[in-house]
Amino acid sequence: MFLSLRVRASQGTQAIADLRKAVPTGFRGRPTIRRDPCAADCSACRDACPTQAIRLAPVALDLGRCVFCNACAEVCPETKIEFRPEPRMGGNEPVDLTVREGEEEMVRVRASAAFSRLFGRSLKMRQVSAGGCNACELELNAVTNVNFDVQRFGIEWVASPRHADALVLTGPLTRNMKEAVRLAWDAMPEPRFVVAVGACAISGGLYDGAAGVDRGFLESVGPSLYVPGCPPHPLTFVNAILDLLGIA
């Protein structure tokens, strides 16, 4: 009893009071690209990118492919690209995930009246990893820990797809998980939707076109929400979900 109280005293209050405004110090999050002229024929950033996330003239970075490795920022002779501690990013469609030269604000997840009505007060999520490296899984687990505590919004993980409204996918989708992902989806009652979390799930990321990958499921069932990162910070996930549901 006494030991337990000592733990309680050392613990204090850990919950982040305002998840909408929190900024994780030091985090390599949403990048910005300054509108400065590039040197003629310079393609250093594009060449350094391990996931072909960059297009040139004007420079544009696809966060659906980006693994936030900072390689583009390091090689840019004009230091145009800068990754900032901003965790808020995400989109309703893949096209929303592009960061363009000179854009300070990127497109945020748009609230949906239908999602808000159906899931705004209670959202049950079933997570399935299909080739995920466990980093996304650890960060998704973290959204329910004492710091992020997403249950305060009526959002939580459930054990069975039969209890779930959202199928949260991580990993590039492996051929060896193809059947299992389909079974999980088929077991979910309607209305239901898919969330793609991390560069792997959104675009295949580093494993786009790899030998063991089969993305057939996502071609037939399109995600309703894209959460970029490698892995996404828990705040990225929480903010994207809250935006979609139109909460606070």
Partner 1 sequence: MKASMTAHQVAVDAIPRLEPGPWREDLLKQLRADMRVVTLVGRRDLDRVAITAVLQASDRSLRVSRTEVAPERGYHEMTTEHAALHCFERELHEQTGVRIAGHPWLKPIRYEGQEQSAMRSHPFYKIEGKEVHEVAVGPIHAGVIEPGSFRFMCLGEQVHHLEIHLGYQHRGVERRLLERDPRSLTPLIETIAGDTSVAHAWAYCSALEGLAGCQLDGETELARAVALELERVAMHLSGLAGMAADVGFLQGATTYGRLRTTAINTMMRLCGSRFGRGALRPGGVRMRLPPETLRDIRANLELLQADLPIINDCFLMARTVQHRLRSTGTLTTAQARELGLVGLAARASGIELDARHLMEHGAYSVVPIQPAVLPDGDCWARARIRIAEIEASLSWISTVIALYPNWEHPPLSIGELAPNQLAISLVEGFRGEVVHCIETGAHGEVVHYKVQDPSLRNWMGLALAVRGNEISDFPICNKSFDLSYCGNDL
List contacts with partner 1 (CB under 8 A). 3-4, 6-8, 10-11, 14, 24-28, 48, 50-51, 67-71, 83, 127-142, 145-147, 157, 159-161, 171-172, 174-180, 183-184, 200, 206-207, 210-213, 230-231, 233
**At closest approach, how far in Å is the CB of 131 from partner 1?**
4
**At closest approach, how far in Å is the CB of 182 from partner 1?**
10
**At closest approach, how far in Å is the CB of 43 from partner 1?**
15
- Residue closer to partner 1 by CB (options 81, 130) is 130
Q: What value, to the nearest 5°, has the Cα angle with vertex 153 and ends 238 and 16?
A: 60
The residue whose two tokens read 């970029």 is: 228
The residues, any chain, with a CB within 8 Å of residue 177's CB and separated by 6 or more, are 128, 130, 131, 171
- Residue closer to partner 1 by CB (options 96, 137) is 137
- Residue closer to partner 1 by CB (options 122, 134) is 134
- Residue closer to partner 1 by CB (options 51, 92) is 51
- Residue closer to partner 1 by CB (options 120, 131) is 131
**At closest approach, how far in Å is the CB of 74 from partner 1?**
8
**At closest approach, how far in Å is the CB of 178 from partner 1?**
6
